[in-house]
Structure 1
Amino acid sequence: MSLMESLYKGPVIPSVRSIEDFNLALSDTTAPSLFLLFGDINNLPKLLRLAEQHKKRLLVHGDLLEGVGKDKAGIKYLARQGVTALVTTKPHLVKMAREEGLVVIQRLFLIDSEALRTGIKLLREHKPDAVEILPASVPRAAVQEIVRGASLPVFAGGLVTSREDVLQALKAGACAVSTSKRELWNIRV
């Protein structure tokens, strides 16, 4: 099963912000993938190894990983360490990561219609494998505009605090929802 296929297995992708979150997500969730929103170059190899032992894929947020340059050398380092998927807000990293064989999820903060237009332009230009829009509560019309304009799978994240938030994002057109709210990690829809 490919990484992109595994992302569709469940409606919720746990976002882990600490080692406690990470350990809980490994042992107590059925999610095949986790958003890794913490860590550094020293503990990344161990986190990757533990995830692999638990048959989980890590979607590493490169912007939040300490000690790794946000440049070509940093991307090459992540690939050598065994990272298979990168999450980033930085468009210039998308192409570099794809050249290294990584699956790339570009994060977009949709604060207004200009951010939406600019975001779609960046997605077309840099060609990530998927997009994560934040906050998850963006209107259905905005999600549909991204789907039409960029032809990418859309994940939703940010400010997801209830089952209703998850359902609303899925109904708007997201294929999955990321959240750090532990009690939502195993919900079924």
Structure 2
Amino acid sequence: MITRRKLWEILKANPIIAAVKDEQGLSKALASDNKIVFVLYADILNLDEIIERILKKGKIPFVHIDMVTGLATNPMSIKYIMKNHNRNCGIITTKGNLVKEAVDLGISVIQRLFVIDSLSIENNVKTIKRMKPDAIEIMPGVMPKVIKKIQNEVPNTPIIAGGLIETEEEVIDILNHGGMAVSTTRENLWKVNRK
């Protein structure tokens, strides 16, 4: 079971998250040292197999439920994950109703939030305080100043930065400005160490 505390500890010790968008990326993530794998692709026919492969390698899967083809983005999809994987798999979603369902069921949930202007920052902070996800993923992730601002508003919520992160310097800058972790599909960044 992935508790909030366990997620916090894992993110602190393993700040780079391998995000995968296809089978090739998954194979490389399974062979990597990264502890958490974000699954950004799947369909209803292969989802369970993908999750089990990740678990078998001793890694923690987080499935972006909004991106699973054939699985509706409603609370029943959260119940499906819980029934088949017994809280050993976390959820990523942009949908508030799915965050609430996951929190209510005790499934670890990361709420993905998009930041485009100061109003979206304000609204996102309100959403985080209301929904209480286990962590948030800020997109695009290349905004250390914004990450720091949000971290000051919700200091007890781990912030993961994702999207448009291309260099080791950007990863380190994010981690030094309030980001607890970085998710990336760029395999060359999966081995970056916090400095």
Shorter-chain TM-score category?
over 0.9
Matched with 1:57 is: 60
Q: In the alignment, residue 41 of structure 1 is paired with which amino acid?
A: I
Q: Secondary structure at the match of 2:66?
A: coil
Q: 1:139, 1:169 → 2: CA distance?
A: 5
TM-score, length basis structure 2: 0.91
The one of 154, 158, 176 equivalent to 1:153 is 158
Query: Quick check: 1:185 aligned with 2:179?
Result: no
The unaligned stretches of length 5 or more in structure 1 are none
Q: 1:187, 1:26 → 2: CA distance?
A: 17
Q: 1:51, 1:112 → 2: CA distance?
A: 36
The one of 15, 20, 39 equivalent to 2:19 is 15
Q: Is the 8 A contact 2:144 2:173 kept in 1?
A: no
Matched with 2:69 is: 66
Q: In the alignment, residue 159 of structure 1 is paired with which amino acid?
A: L
The one of 108, 113, 121 equivalent to 2:126 is 121
Q: Secondary structure at the match of 1:63?
A: helix
TM-score, length basis structure 1: 0.93
Deviation, structure 1 residue 38: 0.3
Deviation, structure 1 residue 12: 0.9
Deviation, structure 1 residue 4: 3.4
Q: 2:177, 2:7 → 1: CA distance?
A: 23
Residues 92-123 of structure 1, C-alpha deviations (whole Å, 9 max, x = no match) = 11110112221111111111101100100111
Overall identity of the aligned pairs, in %: 34
Q: Is the 8 A contact 1:63 1:70 kept in 2?
A: yes
Q: 1:139, 1:156 → 2: CA distance?
A: 9
Q: Is the 8 A contact 1:3 1:57 kept in 2?
A: no
RMSD: 1.4
Q: Is the 8 A contact 2:8 2:158 kept in 1?
A: no
Q: In the alignment, residue 7 of structure 1 is paired with which amino acid?
A: L
Matched with 1:3 is: 7
The one of 158, 173, 182 equivalent to 2:178 is 173
Q: Is the 8 A contact 2:75 2:97 kept in 1?
A: no
Query: Quick check: 1:43 aligned with 2:57?
Result: no
Q: After TM superposition, what 4+ stretches of structure 1 lie above 6 angstroms from structure 2?
A: none
Q: 1:76, 1:125 → 2: CA distance?
A: 21
Q: 1:49, 1:154 → 2: CA distance?
A: 26
Residues 127-172 of structure 1, C-alpha deviations (whole Å, 9 max, x = no match) = 11111101111142x2233223223111101001110110111122
Q: 2:77, 2:118 → 1: CA distance?
A: 32
